[in-house]
Structure 1
Amino acid sequence: MAKMAKMANVLKELDRSAGEAYKKGRISFQIGRFEEALTDYNEAADAWNRAASISFEIGKKASGKAFLEKAWDARSCYGMALFKLERYEEALGIVDAALELKPESPVEWSNRGFVLSALNRNEEALEAFNRALVLDPESPKILTSMGIVYFRMGLLEKALDTFDCALAAEPKKASDWACKIPRFSFFSRNKAPIMKPDNAGAWYWKGKVFLELGENEKALNAFKMALESDPDHLDSLLTGGDLLCKFEEYDEALRCYVRALKLSPGNEAASRGKEFCEAKINGC
């Protein structure tokens, strides 16, 4: 009994320390400290693996499997931190190992698509995203990722169709929805809260396609829609600001660059855009 109680305390402590490391890893990842995230996720995975081994040794198979699941979740996050650090081959190795254990995971198939796209293996990336889509049909996030690959392959009409599918798709979870009062838009037309998918990425990339097609008015509207969905979408602020400058809408462009600098202090593109707009507005 004393030994079992001791083992239970050891497992509890391992689970606690792993959970803390995992939370630290998520915070580090979210603020862009990917090296720190690697350390934290690795610590979490090691602790949960040790907990799993102990559980199996004392005959607690259910607990062991639960700890292994947590360990692999931490390893998956570790792989995405590697991805952010552009260590793509290492990231791919972790994703493929995860898929051997969880071949029906749409998240891991999506992760594989991200990594393969970064490696410019676009056909394989599309295959991975298609596998993810089979497991999670009409996922807006997966469809947007596929559209980005089509865009990079120069298949612009296919990209547009895919982004439209992403924008039309119903989100599966409450976390995929955004209900927010637009704090910023190019034209400030919306007066009431909006309830719709958090689809800024799809609108942004749709705008990029229109730019490639030379349809600047449609591109501007797409960036406007992206910012109505997410007023803090940095890429839309910067690209939208640049496009507004082409339309000589310097006051609106300046607002984009000022907001971008609040989100990303020292951003060179935003600083240049701000200075350019101020010079135009002041008649310099």
Structure 2
Amino acid sequence: MVKMAITAKIDKLTKTTKTANTLKELNRSAEENCKKGRISFKVGKFEDALAAYGEAADAWKEMADMLFEKGKEARGKEFLDKNLETISCYGMVLFKLERYEEALEIVDSALELKPENPTEWSNRGFVLSALDRNEEALEAFEKALAFDPKSSKILTSQGIVYFRMGLLKKALETFDEALVIEPGKASDWACKVPRFSFLSRNEAPIMKPDNAETWYWKGNALLELGEKEKALNAFRNALENDHEHLNSLLSGGDLLCEFAEYGEAFKCYIRALKLSPGNEAAEKGKEFCEEKINE
């Protein structure tokens, strides 16, 4: 009887050890794949990111199921949350791959579980806009703002939809609202850093408001309205905050060419080519400026 009891304890201990080792290995694999997914996404290797996030999500789901089976609800929920976060990333990779319907299915599934999550509502807005369902996209961004009214990024995304719908004044109002919010987070920086010059070779400051994209889209809206001087100033502001904002360099260069400021435009295209070697628009702009400068 005693021998049987000891054997049972040993078996139980062995199973517990195996479970702990399995959980440890699954967690290690999930963390590594999630890191790989983030890096792959950042450098534009979306197929690799998709595979990595998929493996990470599967591993965390398996961990959650194992823990729930053992009655460890709190720990199980912790890894289930990680699973859901990773699935959300998986959905955004599908978005980048232009697999919009699949991405929308994932976003909607996430919203069933987290209906008050502003990130998922914002993601839904991105996908719906890509599907040219702009009215629904605006509704999604409104939902996101209801839960996070001070998000400049969500406001900017909403403004982009207005821009694409041709509602330029509404787009400008939305971009301005976003710009009012964002600089307040780095007001000290705004007071100390000199304005960007297209000719400047200075590195961007480490501390900066994250509103380059907002200024860029505001510039586009102003350009559509024929406000070229104001548009150029908007692109300058974008580059004050992110001197490597490629689209602002290209758009700024194009406008400077229109103003016959070929020297400054040339510098824009050179910088753009350093960021994006072989960029066709930058190459053409650079060649055009060289011709004009040498006339």
- TM-score normalised per structure 2: 0.90
Structure 1: 5+ residue stretches without partners: none
1:167 corresponds to: 179
Is 2:168 aligned against 1:156?
yes
1:237 corresponds to: 249
How far is the alpha carbon of 1:193 from its aligned partner?
5.3
Identical counterparts, % of pairs: 71
Kept in 2: contact 1:178–1:198 (CA 8 A):
no
Moved more, 232-241 or 195-204: 195-204
Structure 2 counterpart of 1:281, which letter? I
1:280 corresponds to: 292
> Aligned pair in 2 of structure 1 residues 47, 172: CA closer, same or farther (>3 Å)?
farther
1:44 corresponds to: 56
Distance in 1 separating the partners of 2:264 and 2:72: 62
How far is the alpha carbon of 1:196 from its aligned partner?
4.6
Distance in 2 separating the partners of 1:271 and 1:248: 18
Is 2:270 aligned against 1:258?
yes
> Aligned pair in 2 of structure 1 residues 269, 81: CA closer, same or farther (>3 Å)?
same
> Aligned pair in 2 of structure 1 residues 133, 58: CA closer, same or farther (>3 Å)?
same
Kept in 1: contact 2:182–2:211 (CA 8 A):
no
Mapping 1:58-97, distance limit 5 Å: 58-97=70-109
- For the residue of structure 2 that corresponds to 1:240, the secondary structure is helix
1:222-258 deviation per Cα after TM superposition (whole angstroms, max 9, x unaligned):
0000000100111101111111100011111111111
How far is the alpha carbon of 1:170 from its aligned partner?
4.3
Structure 2 counterpart of 1:225, which letter? N
How far is the alpha carbon of 1:186 from its aligned partner?
2.1
- Of Structure 1 and Structure 2, the greater helix share is in 2
Give the counterpart of 1:119 among 124, 131, 141: 131
Instruction: Pick the structure with greater CA Rg.
Output: 2
Kept in 1: contact 2:185–2:209 (CA 8 A):
no
Distance in 2 separating the partners of 1:124 and 1:172: 30
How far is the alpha carbon of 1:62 from its aligned partner?
1.1
- TM-score normalised per structure 1: 0.93
Distance in 1 separating the partners of 2:129 and 2:282: 28
